[in-house]
Structure formats: structure tokens, C-alpha cells
Structure 1
Amino acid sequence: MTFTLPTGIHDRPVAVIGAGTLGRRIALMFATRGGLVRVYDKSQQAGDAARSYVEEHVAEVAAGIEGGTPGRVAITDDMAEALRDAWLVVEAVPERLDLKKEIFGRLDQEAGPDTILASNSSSYATGEFIERVSRPERVLNMHFYMPPQQVAIDLMSDGHTDPGILDLLKRELPGFGVFPFVAHRESTGFIFNRVWAAIKREALAVVAEGVSTPEDVDAMWRINMGLAAGPFRMMDQVGLDVVLDIENHYARERPYLPEGPRQLLRKYVEAGHLGVKSGQGFYAYDG
């Protein structure tokens, strides 16, 4: 089936499902063109934090985008309100397949007929959770990294995605300060994340085997690569529970992967040390 592409998108809102670390960052980028972004989350605390984050940073980020204008963010715990007249929905909920199937079943029923349904999933192809979707031609992966610092994103078809959607997004997304790259076949981890997964997995193995420490690995990375943060600091930013979920998914697909990195992650997660969001991960964080 073909999909009727949304029109008038510059006058219509974007909806983000999930107000967590990446959800609020995605909302920030879509609020840089002067329009409205609605963020759906059942947690008032998460919603308030997302609003504060966008409002704090949107003027600065919009100023760095050609034609950028600070927009607005609205927080709601009503899915129907979040989706009203949206031309695009980006799902950014935890990496649980059952949850994503449930969410996309609802989005398929409640979103407008010309709304594009995208998933920010970092490890699941959308083809894995569209069994309750009646119109898979409007679904795709749109995977963000950590905007506004990292603004390359992956686009990947669910196997049925209307090619016109990919063309539309390649044309329009740079106007929001993000730059899409299309995976030409289904790939767990998409493009860049497959490379990054190998790096973080080997960094974890070096520590799990007692060869080095997170601090020393990161220090060597900063010196040799000229970057501000090393793999362990970056994993703390993402959330060690999220990193573990992703590694478990890779391991189910590739049973030959070493167990040591996942054992190390489980030790931290089971202790409640999830990274920046819990105040303790491989490093301790104030506030």
C-alpha cells in the first residue's frame, strides 16, 4: 500500500512518546523551528523535567540552526491530546519489545491517517513490533543518538515503509538541525551504533577482565581521540540499564558474544547504579 504523505507540516506539531533522557532531547530538536512539540508521559515528574530541559536549551540550540526559531513544548498524559494533528510521532520508550508492540498498536489506532509513526529504538527494528499495526507503510525507525551534541540519525524501513516517507524526512529533518542517513537493509544497531556497540563492548571486557579501570580507559580515549568523554562516561549518560537492555538484545541475536561485558553491567544495574540519572554509575554525579 502507498501512504498519503502529510502536508502543511511546518504548521503542525510533532509528538514524542516518552519524556526520558532521549525523549526530551528529541523534543528539543523538533522545537527549533518555531512550532509546537507535545511530549506524552504518564509520569508528571518526567514531564516536568522534559519541559524544563527544552525551555532551558531551545533558544541556544535554535540559534545554531539556519532559520531556527525557538518553539514551544507541551506535556500531556493524554495520548489522544499528544497525537492531535501531529504530522510525525517519535516513540522513545524503554527498550522492551512488549511495550513497543503495545505503543505502536495504540499509535496505529489513534494517530491521524497521514501521521508518520517513527521509533527511536536503539536496538529493535520496527519490523519486530508492528504485528498490531494495520498500516505498516507509515512506520519506520528514526534513531537519534544524543542531540543536540550528536545530530546524525539513522532511518530504516520496517520492510513496508513507503519510500516517499524516507524522501520527505531526508528533505525536512535537516531544517530541525538533525541529519539523516538511511540503512539500506535491516540491521540491528543500524549504522553507527553497530560500530559503537563493538567499542563499548570491548571497553567493558577490558574492565571485566581486570585489565584496566573505567577511569583509565576513558582517560586514554580522551587523550588519543581528542574527545571530551570516554566510553564509560558516555554509557553513564545513556543509562546503564539501557545499555544492558541493548547488549542483551545483541546477545540473543548473536549468542557467540562474550558474557563478561553483560555481567559487569548487571552488577551495576542490580545495585541501582544506572549512571547520571541515578547519581551513580561508573562515576558519581552530584545533583
Structure 2
Amino acid sequence: MTIVTDRPIAVIGAGTLGRRIALMFATGGGVVRVCDLDAGQRAAAAAYVERELPAVLASVPGSSAAEVELTDDLAAAVAGAWLVVESLPERLDVKIPVFAQLDQLAPADAILATNSSSYPSSEVIAEVTRPERVVNLHFFMPPGARACELMSCGRTDPEVIERLRGALPRFGLSPYVAQVESRGFIYNRIWAAIKREALMVVAEGVATPADVDALYVEVTGQKDGPFRKMDRVGLDVVLDIEENYAAHRDGVPESPRELLRSYLAEGRLGMKTGRGFYDYGGQA
């Protein structure tokens, strides 16, 4: 399996994370294709990359701008690609059939990666004929957070992980490898405990989201607290992740998910809808 730098990279999904992943890959020259069925998402992704790319290029040594193409055609998106990154909702009923399609449509030597933050890639390969090229490549929230995590599907060719570990720094990314399969990988297992406890504090009426964040920031010195971070990710995504943890681990409390559901019922999904735990003035 070879990585040819003049071959395209494809990102499947133009949502909050998909467009940020595309932004980072757009610092490596060549062509980056972003595929999404929603025309609004494609337009928003194009605008985001155009707006943010100059600053990111300036921060990545040796970078050069890629040509970013937007499409709603999966076959066209992956044609000739050496790397395909799926960034779709955290639902296996979405991911499994998409990976089946990618397995058939992408070049035989293309690496197929899922950006899933809570599903090991072993759970998306049920209909994949070449699982040795499937891997977890989990991003956080670039360009601010440029760390990413690599993890085998259990049948991933070790060379895939080594090649990605060597290639990703070229795009200003810092890869870390999970040595064994771990639901939540490395950082998110730690973050999940903080996030869940913060939600419980609010659900129990101990403090408001704003007070939790203010205290957290003052004590830790971090820029944002857990509620501001959840708003940035999207409360629908946070709930999907929590539901997945609850389905696979004993003792995950219900109250954090109940609190999230109450916000979603009011259409408060976070920054992308202009309202979440905070009000962003109607600006997504």
C-alpha cells in the first residue's frame, strides 16, 4: 500500500468536523474532495475553508494550498484517492453501509478511515471485504486542536498505521497511536468522565453551565469549560456518543443524557444552531 502525495484525499461529510478535517488536509497541496449530500453543508464547508485556510497555511511549515472540491457524488469523491476519511453522524446504521460503498468505490490501495470518536473501526467493517485497510483516524477540533488518534480495527495492516503516523505531520497534525482497541480511544475516555460529571452537576441543580465553565477555566487555566466545548462539538453529537457509551458500559448514569435531550427538544444543538448551553445571538 503506497501513499502518493499527488493523489487526492477525500473527506466524507461536510459537517462541523468534516470541514475542519478538510481544512487541515488542504495545507498539503494537491486536491482535497469533500462529499456531502446536503448542498447547504457543502456551501458552508467551502466558505469555512476559504476563510480559515490562509491563517492555517501560515502556521504549518512547508505547507501549500490544495484545491478543494465539493461534491455530492461518493464515487467522484473517492476516485483516485489514497486516503478517505469518513466524518458522518455517530450511528452504525449510517457508517456500515457507507464503508461498504467505500470498499467498492475507492481504489484498492486507498486507506479507509473513520473519524468516529466512540465506535472502534472494527464495528464499521461488517460489509467490508478488505478490512486490513480500515483504521480509526480520530480528530478533535482542528485547527485549534491538531492532535489525532490512530487505532487498529483489529485487522488493520500495521503498515497503514505507520504510513499515517509518518504522513499526518505534513498536514500540521500530531498523531498518537492507541496500542489496543479502546472505546473512546485515549483522550476521550478521560474527557468523557469530565463531561459526564459536569452534566450531572447541572442536572442535579448544583450549578449552572456558566458557573461550571468559569470555575473549570479558573482552576485548570484552559481556554474553555466543558459546556462551551460541548456547544462547539454539537449537543446532538455529544448525546449520540453518550448513548453509545451507555449501550456498552455498565453504570453510565442517565441524568446527563436526560439533560442533553431536554436541550435538543428545544432545538438547542450548540453553536451550529446559535443556541446550546449558551446563546450565540442566533448566529450558528
Question: TM-score band, normalised by the shorter chain?
Answer: over 0.9
Partner of 1:46: 41
What are the within-5 Å matches in structure 2 for residues 95-174 of structure 1?
95-174=90-169
**8 Å Cα contact 1:126/1:141 also seen in 2:** yes
**Structure 1 segment 127-276 matched on structure 2, within 5 A:** 127-276=122-271
CA distance in 1 between counterparts of 2:13 and 2:155 reads 25
**Per-residue CA distance 1:131-187 (angstroms, 9 max, x = gap):** 100000000100000000001111000010001111101111001011111111111
- Name which of 1, 10, 16 aligns with 1:15: 10
* Corresponding residue number in structure 1 for 2:2: 6
1:280 is paired with a residue whose SS is coil
Match of 1:280 in 2: 275
Deviations 1:81-136 (A, max 9, x none): 10011100000000011110010000000000110000000100110121100000
Deviation track 1:206-235 (CA, whole Å, cap 9, x = no partner) reads 001111010000001111111221100000
2: CA distance between counterparts of 1:173 and 1:33? Answer: 10
Query: 1:23-62 CA deviation, whole Å, 9 max, x = no partner?
Result: 0000000000122110000011100100111111112101
Moved over 3 A (4+): none
Cα deviation for residue 7 of structure 1 reads 3.6
- For 1:83, which of 68, 78, 81 is the aligned residue? 78
The code of the aligned residue for 1:45 comes to G
Instruction: Say what the alpha-carbon RMSD is for the aligned residues.
Output: 0.8
Distance 1:7 1:145 in 2: 23
Aligned residue type for 1:131 = A
In structure 2, the partner of 1:59 is: 54
**What SS does the corresponding residue of 1:38 show, helix, strand or coil?**
strand
CA contact (8 A) 1:63 1:69 kept: no
Kindly indicate whether the alpha-carbon contact (under 8 Å) linking 1:154 and 1:182 is maintained by their aligned counterparts in 2.
Answer: yes
Structure 1 SS opposite 2:160: helix
Looking at structure 2, the residues matched to 157 and 89 of structure 1 have their Cα atoms a distance apart, in angstroms, of 16
Cα distance between partner residues in 1 of 2:177 and 2:223: 28
**CA–CA distance in 1 between the matches of 2:280 and 2:65?**
30
User: In the alignment, residue 227 of structure 1 is paired with which amino acid?
Assistant: Q
Structure 1 residue 68: Cα displacement: 1.0
Q: For residues 177 and 48 of structure 2, what CA distance do their matches in structure 1 show? A: 29
Query: What is the aligned counterpart of 2:32 among 27, 34, 37?
Result: 37
Task: Percent identity, please.
Answer: 57
- The letter for the 2-side match of 1:65 is V
1:24 aligns with 2:19: yes
- Equivalenced residue count is 282
Moved more, 33-42 or 86-95: 33-42
Q: 2: CA distance between counterparts of 1:12 and 1:56?
A: 24
- TM-score scaled by length of structure 2: 0.98
**Structure 2 gap ranges (5+):** none
Structure 1: which amino acid aligns with 2:27?
T
